[in-house]
Amino acid sequence: MSESTVTVSGGSVTLGRSAVRERRPQGGAPSELVTPRRLLWSAYAGLIVCGLATVLCTGSTPQLSPDNLHLAFAATFPHIYAGPLANLGPDIHLGGVIALFTVMCVCYATIVRHGSLLPARAVVAGIVALHLIVAIAPPLMTTDVFSYLMYGRMDAVYHIDPYIHGPWAIHYDSYFPFVAAQWAYTPTAYGPLFTGVSTLLGHLDIRTATLVYKLLTVACSLIAIGGVAKAAQRLGRDAAQAALLVGLNPVLIIYAVGGSHNDMLMMAALSWSIAALVAHRARTAGGLLVTAVAVKLTAGVLLPFALAARRGPAGRTRLGGHQWRMLGGAALVLLGVAVISTVLFGAGPLHLLHTLEVIQSNGGRQSVPGFIAWGLGFGWLSHGVVIGLQAIDVLTFVWLIVAVRKHKIDWITATGWAVVALLVTSTFLLPWYVVWLLPFAALSDSRALRTAAIVLTAIGMTSL
Give the other-Cβ count within 10 Å of 39's Cβ: 16
Give pLDDT tens digits for 123-178: 999 999 999 999 888 777 788 899 999 999 999 999 999 999 999 999 999 889 88
As separate numbers, helices (DSSP H) first and strands (DSSP E) second, the chain gives 20, 2
- Picking from 329, 315, 319, 321, the residue whose alpha carbon sits closest to that of residue 269 is 329
* CA gap 256, 254 in Å, rounded: 6
- Sign of the torsion formed by the C-alpha atoms of 398, 402, 403 and 404: positive
Give pLDDT tens digits for 261-320: 999 999 999 999 999 999 999 999 999 999 999 999 999 999 999 999 865 444 444 556
Is 456:96 a contact under the CB 8 Å cutoff?
Answer: no
- Which pLDDT score is estimated for 27? 47
Is 141:252 a contact under the CB 8 Å cutoff?
Answer: no
Q: What DSSP string describes 180-214?
A: -GGGTTPPP-S-HHHHHHHHHTTTS-HHHHHHHHH
Give pLDDT tens digits for 198-233: 999 999 988 889 889 999 999 999 999 999 999 999
User: Confidence band (pLDDT; 50, 70, 90) for 256?
Assistant: very high
Is 123:243 a contact under the CB 8 Å cutoff?
Answer: yes
| Residues sharing a CB contact under 8 Å with residue 128, sequence separation 6 or more, in sequence order | 222
- Which pLDDT score is estimated for 464? 53
- Sign of the torsion formed by the C-alpha atoms of 286, 288, 294 and 300: negative
Is 68:182 a contact under the CB 8 Å cutoff?
Answer: no
Give pLDDT tens digits for 367-406: 777 777 666 666 667 777 778 888 999 999 999 999 999 9
**Residue boundaries of the structural domains of the chain:** 3-20+35-143+205-462
- Which residues on adjacent β-strands are paired with residue 3? 16
